[in-house]
Chain A
Amino acid sequence: MQQYASQIHRCFRCGYCKFPTDYSSFNCPSYRRFRFDSYSTGGRLWLIYAWLKGEVEWSEHLADILYACTTCKNCTEQCPMKFAGDIVDWIVGARSDMVEKGKIPPRVARFFEAVHGYGNPLKLLRSDRDAWADGTKRYEPGDEYLFYVGCLGSYDENAQKMSKSLAELLNKAGVSFGILGSEEECCGNEIYMLGEMGLFQVLAEKNTQQFKELGVKKIVTLSPHAYNVMRNNYSAAGANFQVYHYTQLLSDLIKKNKIKLSQNKAKVTYQDPCFLGRYNKIYDEPRQILQSIPGIELIEMERNRQDAFCCGGGSGNFVMDLLAGSEDSPGRVRVREAYETGADTLAVACPSCLTIFTDAVKTEDLDEKLTVKGISQIVMESLSSK
């Protein structure tokens, strides 16, 4: 990441990063929202380079442009150049420089303050972190899995339904697991993507230390964001545990017949979360779960898998919402696309997607026509009574 300043001039600004594979639409969420070239990946990289060269002074507008990137990795997927895999690191590197210089948008600063002070970006009390849990047991040494719930799954009213249903499913399937409750700390994925490397290091070390002390060997996460950061960015903090996203675990439990499913008639379309799909190439397990439920018809949106259109919530935007306020906001665009498939349910595997889409269906006046649900909720509703 430190090398970004010596590499960033390599972007030609060809614009492939704006599209999905079949060019059917614009697939960069911030470009789709704002449409000025400055909000595309290429424009952003050129502006960062101009800032490094002193051709453009720092401004709040420049910082907004930089932080409006959701780090969804569509650009990495589509860029034809050899440096494609480095693009997100370059953006995170520039954000890190801005953080070090104290030059960040107020909304980003508030995000950092909240995580630092409260352990979550919503500024909610640590003691309320397990308010959703309703008796779900605490992790104890010897439990097979630590269920890492994450900030949204702990505090957000809608995402809590995902957490609850997952905890119930794991209990019913006889999985040995526990949660950290009020001792749980923010995973730091957004902090990393927003470039606050000092705070990220603190969170990664604190979490890793806690997991080690409890003897945790396996972690199952509700959020793809937590799954990503723990799997890919915790190694420097000495992490040596296995991380699973809950859809991987549920898929396995269904295959082993530990979760038995009955008829649930619904037309469902599925949103690939960026941190599950493009970041970690998990595309099949969520679909396998949905397809294993009798009565569910899975209808794909035109942009799916590596071409899925981001909900707009990445890089802390599920709280900061720098892309909100327009019919071109990614969440609103995406729920319209979901509705156009003829589906009555938009299935998600990520609490960020859930919160963004739940708001978006209301704004688009689709709440009577399209229901947004976590996959764990759908599975829970489909449980066989036998």
Chain B
Amino acid sequence: MSDIHEDLARIVGKNWVSSQKEERYLYGRDPGLMPPHEPEYVVMPKTTEEVQEIVKLANREKVPVVPKGAGLSLTGLVIPQRGGILLDMKRMDKILEVNDKAGYVIVEGGTTHATLKSHLMKHYPHLRHSMPDSPPIATIVANAVIHGQGRLTQQHGFNSDMVSGLEVVLGTGELCRIGSCAVSQYWFSKGPPMPDLTGLFLGWFGTTGVITKLGMKLYPCKKIRDAMMFLTDRADLVPDIMRKLGRTEMMEDIVSSFAPLPLRLKGNFNILIIITGDSEEEVEFKRKMAWDTLWEYFESRDGGFLSVPPDMKPALLAMPSKDTTRFADTSKGGGFEYSGPITPIEKYPEFIAKLEELASKYKLFYASSARVIDGGHSMMFSFSYTFNRADPDSMVRVKTALDEAAEFALEQGGVIWKPNIDEQKMVMERMDPNTLKLMMKLKELLDPNGIMNPGNWEAK
């Protein structure tokens, strides 16, 4: 047993560290298509102090540290590119405080979205958070770190926009509080009226520090939720439809889906509209707003509302969405991956054309969903393709298609969401040189030994 293993065992207890092949194998890969790299050690800390000790040890030994939530980005962001210590954060899973009056929650760095959802439903049924479509094991911190989206993103922006404070172990092992919690016992603001330092950690994929606590804004949980579905067969109309719906400021969520199955919906763009209310009157008013907003397309016979059968609604309203996960096994292959650029909504028709072109070129089963972000300032458009884990050729074809999709998205003026290390390089190549220089300076400042999730956001 190595000295590092023994040191880690001393810090977290022997049951919570492994350097055995089985854990190294599993933590060296994710469900996506990036090549695996195994860590030497997998560690499960329980406290902030333990995380600090581990990071200090890693600095002494010059060993990489990769903090991990559930590893569901699909883009290999927590695959330890240079080995080292994999920090599985999921034992730090406490909900530390719900501030009902100010509307925020403080969670530990490995708390899952599912845990928070369950806690709120049980103890604070009038409050909710922005639940992503990813599986329930996705952690709140990791989702914020990748600028994830959720069911409230249409109304309130990226889930990272809803962060209201951080506790971070820097790459040096120092502990730092970010936001109002740096000067107050309250976690109501991530920065304002002070400088917003959360930007030093959100979007950096763990290359600048380990987030051990996070404050997240909570929102009213309306008593009634309903799903509406608007169909059109014209991609060119989808941007206007989504924008107009967003500008009503009445819709919880707006997502346009496109896939060749089920056959009855083939060729149509299915725009899911979620509305909420505390009374039937409120819901009916919002339903009417959606109808009125889209009436012109009905009159021009370019679209119409689909009557959503009651047995279909639970799946549409489910949080998290099991259907999103089921897509992986559409072809009985257990795999899917997507490139999800953030882009202006107006690019929707071009992206749809590219989605189909790549599917045809590489013989892939596809789907796309585009979620309106923050009332319509942008959208997340997913190029989603399935692959078969038992068929390496299908995996190569999907990876090649996604690389092309990423190039295309950048050419179209989009920015790649949760980019893998290859896509990060594409982004950095196009980045304003001084911006890139600033990024690298900040990274070096926060992680002088270059031990934090190395390989990610590296300019060299």
Contacts and interface: CB of A to CB of B under 8 A. Distances in A.
B is a partner of A: yes
Interface of A: 6, 9-16, 18-19, 22-24, 34-38, 43, 46-47, 49-50, 55-57, 59, 61-62, 65, 80-83, 326
Interface stretch (B47-55, B199-207, B331-339): B331-339
Interface of B: 15-16, 18, 20-23, 25-27, 31, 42, 44, 70, 72, 88, 90-91, 112, 114-115, 117-118, 121-122, 135-137, 322-323, 325-326, 328-329, 332-336, 388-390
12 contacts: A10-B329, A10-B332, A14-B72, A14-B328, A16-B136, A35-B88, A35-B90, A35-B91, A36-B23, A37-B23, A47-B22, A81-B328
Given A36-B44, A38-B23, A14 B333 contact: no
Contact of B88 (A11, A15, A36, A57): A36
B137 A15 contact: yes
Contact of B114 (A23, A35, A50): A23
Given A38-B23, A43-B26, A9 B333 contact: yes
B314 to A, nearest CB: 13
Given A18-B137, A46-B26, A80-B326, 10 more contacts: A12-B334, A15-B136, A37-B26, A43-B26, A50-B25, A56-B25, A59-B21, A61-B21, A61-B22, A81-B329
A12 B137 contact: no
B292 to A, nearest CB: 36
A207 to B, nearest CB: 37
Nearest to A80: B322
A59 B70 contact: no
A83 B329 contact: yes
Contacts of A19: 114, 136-137
Contacts of B388: 9
Contacts of B72: 14-15
Contact of B325 (A62, A80, A83): A80
A47 B90 contact: no
Contacts of B22: 38, 47, 56, 59, 61-62, 65
Shortest Cβ-Cβ A-B pairs, 4 listed: A15-B137, A23-B114, A10-B334, A80-B322
Q: Which of B26, B136, B389 has the most CB of A within 10 A?
A: B26
Given A15-B136, A55-B25, A56-B22, A36 B42 contact: yes
B322 A16 contact: yes
B84 to A, nearest CB: 17
Given A36-B18, A56-B21, A14 B118 contact: no
A372 B335 CA distance: 45
Most buried by A among B15, B22, B390: B22
B122 A24 contact: yes
Contact of B118 (A18, A22, A35, A50): A22
A20 to B, nearest CB: 9
B91 to A, nearest CB: 6
